């Protein structure tokens, strides 16, 4: 029998299918996802849960004329399949399909950012633009999960959308009761109470609305008796509605609500979406779905129902290979739990990511001291300031890329008030297959301008443990501990630890009589760049160039010994896996200049670009963050053929290499 999926190259092809064919197509899509995502890794559970929902949206609405927006975007695989992208063999791999919507792939994709809770703001803006452009017949359809609704930004947008009654916005709430883990908070409690409303279809009919509005106007503008009748009828109507379908959560904002709808009934979904489409104003359609639908291993996984998987056996759901190396997250998980045993004042917060950031063990032992605030990083950091004021030491654990959202709170609520709050940034630097919006590459540059902040970048598990302990010992300033995604590096022991805590990892020769080091090149290694920095030093040594490699451990404030060592070397090379503009290297250079040290410094890091997905090694290779490239550039700088030039040796001539002269008139 011919595959139905293979005949669908455009959403319009779905209109030709019968109810039986749609059921077959849904099954084919689930089998396709299980077979393909298990081979490449990716977001499996969320996509298995939105098969019928995505089919219904594309059958009722006309993409791309109607704008379909996926909040977060990890549940867009079905959408990709229905819009002509059915080669998943290189999903999330370099040169292959993105794991999120991407405009370069299709005109059907709109929002590429994979940060949650932004879809309704996009819908607000697009629908305003449509109205101003005279295109009132075009719909905007954001799909937002109940987890993403815990983000305050979503409610800011709802407040604005609800104020305009004539906008064609159909908000689809994909309610599976989870983000990564079960959704928490008052919102989750309210959604769980909502029941199917038998009056929904009647209440969204335009005739019903016109009759109700006319009756309301007549009674409200009548005499005292009429107004009393209106109030009585209105109260009775609301009481009846709340009994059958308590929807005050949304209707108090002035928005029409349809649901809950069975998110796996094609017929029910299409009826609800059609009713919403026919209503001349913003509507919320509440669809109840199951994450991991149709795949027993996912449904049985209590942790996250296969939210994201690596390469797995499609039959069992078990990982194909289990790496022997430990993850950075697991090391943090152990150490924070140990610290919690020792100190009752330590508490932890996270934003809907208890397990991914390594707080599960802490939460199991001390559930009253771990707070999952939902997808609300701003609130988490500001709340942490309050916890610190209350005499506790809060540890806020988030992915590095999501700290961007809480910068104002870090600056004004934590740093300004000198609050002892520790931020633990998981997945810092280049993360790989999740692409531009998930690389944790902005934090080192962004945090540099926060007064009083102290930033640690551990190179291995031992340093992670000790730097975390040092961080939580600071009670009068924000501290940060950042580490990478994936397996922790091998242990790198120091040759020597200097008085201010800087570790010397390598020296081409023994230290001099005064205990210092004087070589051609000082390499400052930031965090996980330790192994790469050591390889660069060895390559330089092979070329007859001496080098010292240091790990500051605490990259901010800049340790005094780093500045002193810089004065004794001909050039400094700072290697970091963050954006080099405004990064650690830039800060060291500024501190050197303030101290009167004029040694040249080369910042080696990531460019100010949105880096496409690929493995971590592939991304680093693309941007030139390899030991071979760095060593080659450094040799040229020492020889004086590439800027910045290393300081000349006594009696040595000035650089002989040609240096391009800036000509402001050159076009």
Location of structure tokens 């975390």: 468
Catalytic residue among 102, 335, 377, 467, which? 377
Known binding residue 295? Answer is yes
Query: Which two tokens mark 409?
Result: 């709170």
Known binding residue 393? Answer is no
Query: Which two tokens mark 633?
Result: 């550039």
First to last CA, the chain: 63
Catalytic residue among 405, 427, 463, 553, which? 405
Known binding residue 148? Answer is yes
Q: Is 405 a catalytic residue?
A: yes
DSSP letter at 592 equals H
Q: Is 531 a catalytic residue?
A: no
* Rounded Cα gap, residues 260 and 200, in angstroms: 10
* Rounded Cα gap, residues 504 and 590, in angstroms: 22
Known binding residue 460? Answer is no
Known binding residue 116? Answer is yes
- Report the run of H or E that residue 308 belongs to, with start and end: none
Taking the C-alpha atoms of 179, 180, 184 and 187 in order, what is their torsion angle to the nearest 10 degrees? 0
Catalytic residue among 59, 203, 291, 459, which? 291
Buried (b) or exposed (e) across 343-360, using 16+ Cβ within 10 A? eebbbbbbbbbbbbbbbb
Nearest by Cα to 98 from 131, 70, 140, 129: 70
* Rounded Cα gap, residues 190 and 611, in angstroms: 40
C-alpha dist (Å) from residue 556 to 120, 159, 284, 450, 587: 38, 41, 47, 10, 8
Known binding residue 6? Answer is no
Known binding residue 489? Answer is no
- Report the run of H or E that residue 496 belongs to, with start and end: strand 496-497
DSSP letter at 32 equals H
Known binding residue 598? Answer is no
Known binding residue 213? Answer is no
Yes or no: say if 79 and 290 are a contact pair by the CB < 8 Å rule: no
Contacts of 277 (CB under 8 A, 6+ apart): 60, 61, 139, 170
* Rounded Cα gap, residues 278 and 276, in angstroms: 5
Query: Which two tokens mark 325?
Result: 């190396």
Contacts of 25 (CB under 8 A, 6+ apart): 4, 5, 8, 17, 55
Q: Is 291 a catalytic residue?
A: yes
Known binding residue 114? Answer is yes
Known binding site: residues?
74, 114-116, 146-148, 176, 295, 377
Which residues form the catalytic set? 291, 377, 405
Known binding site for thiamine diphosphate: residues?
74, 114-116, 147-148, 176, 295, 377
Known binding site for Mg(2+): residues?
146, 176
């Amino acid at each position: 029998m011919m595959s139905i999926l293979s005949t669908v190259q455009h959403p319009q092809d779905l209109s030709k299918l019968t109810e039986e064919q749609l059921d077959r197509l849904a099954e084919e899509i689930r089998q396709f996802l299980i077979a393909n995502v298990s081979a490449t890794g990716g977001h499996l559970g969320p996509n298995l849960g939105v098969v019928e929902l995505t089919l219904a949206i594309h059958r009722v609405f006309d993409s791309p004329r109607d704008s379909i927006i996926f909040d977060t975007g990890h549940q867009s695989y079905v959408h990709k399949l229905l819009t002509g992208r059915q080669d998943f063999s290189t999903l999330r791999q370099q040169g292959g399909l993105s794991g999120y919507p991407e405009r370069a792939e299709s005109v059907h994709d709109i929002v590429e950012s994979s940060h949650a809770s932004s879809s309704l703001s996009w819908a607000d803006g697009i629908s305003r633009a449509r109205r101003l452009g005279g295109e009132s017949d075009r719909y905007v359809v954001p799909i937002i999960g109940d987890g993403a609704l815990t983000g305050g930004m979503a409610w800011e947008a709802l407040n604005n959308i609800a104020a305009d009654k004539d906008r064609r916005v159909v908000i689809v709430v994909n309610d599976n009761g989870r983000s990564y883990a079960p959704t928490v908070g008052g919102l989750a409690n309210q959604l769980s109470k909502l029941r199917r409303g038998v009056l929904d279809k009647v209440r969204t009919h335009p005739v019903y609305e016109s009759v109700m509005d006319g009756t309301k106007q007549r009674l409200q503008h009548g005499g005292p008796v009429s107004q009393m009748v209106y109030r009585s009828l209105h109260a009775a109507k609301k009481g009846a509605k709340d009994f059958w379908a308590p929807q005050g959560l949304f209707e108090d904002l002035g928005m029409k609500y349809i649901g809950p709808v069975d998110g796996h009934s094609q017929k029910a979904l299409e009826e609800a979406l059609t009713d919403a489409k026919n209503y001349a104003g913003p509507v919320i359609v509440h669809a109840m779905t199951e994450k991991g639908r149709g795949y027993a291993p996912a449904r049985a996984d209590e942790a996250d129902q296969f939210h994201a998987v690596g390469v797995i056996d499609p039959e069992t759901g078990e990982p194909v290979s289990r790496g022997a190396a430990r993850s950075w997250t697991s090391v943090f998980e152990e150490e924070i739990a140990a610290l919690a045993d020792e100190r009752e004042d330590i508490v932890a917060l996270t934003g809907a990511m208890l397990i991914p950031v390594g707080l599960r063990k802490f939460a199991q032992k001390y559930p009253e001291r771990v707070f999952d605030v939902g997808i609300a990083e701003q609130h988490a950091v500001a709340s942490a300031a309050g916890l610190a004021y209350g005499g506790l030491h809060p540890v806020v654990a988030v992915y590095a890329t999501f700290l961007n959202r809480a910068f104002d709170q870090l600056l004004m609520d934590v740093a300004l008030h000198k609050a002892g709050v520790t931020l633990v940034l998981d997945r810092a630097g280049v993360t790989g297959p999740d692409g531009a919006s998930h690389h944790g590459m902005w934090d080192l540059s962004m945090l540099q301008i926060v007064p009083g902040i102290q930033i640690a970048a551990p190179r291995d598990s031992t340093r992670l443990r000790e730097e975390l302990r040092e961080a939580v010992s600071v009670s009068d300033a924000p501290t940060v501990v950042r580490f990478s995604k994936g397996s922790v590096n091998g242990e790198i022991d120091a040759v020597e630890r200097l008085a201010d805590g800087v570790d010397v990892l390598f020296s081409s020769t023994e230290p001099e009589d005064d205990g210092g080091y004087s070589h051609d090149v000082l390499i400052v290694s930031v965090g996980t760049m330790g192994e790469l920095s050591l390889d660069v030093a060895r390559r330089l040594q092979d070329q007859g160039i001496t080098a010292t490699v240091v790990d500051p451990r605490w990259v901010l404030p800049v340790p005094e010994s780093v500045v002193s060592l810089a004065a004794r070397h001909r050039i400094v090379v700072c290697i970091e896996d963050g954006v080099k503009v405004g990064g650690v290297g830039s800060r060291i250079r500024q501190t050197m200049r303030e101290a009167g040290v004029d040694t040249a410094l080369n910042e080696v890091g990531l460019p100010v670009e949105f880096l496409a997905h690929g493995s971590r090694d592939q991304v680093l290779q693309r941007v030139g963050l390899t030991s071979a490239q760095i060593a080659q550039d450094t040799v040229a700088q020492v020889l004086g053929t590439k800027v910045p030039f290393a300081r000349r040796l006594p009696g040595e001539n000035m650089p002989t290499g040609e240096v391009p002269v800036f000509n402001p008139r050159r076009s």
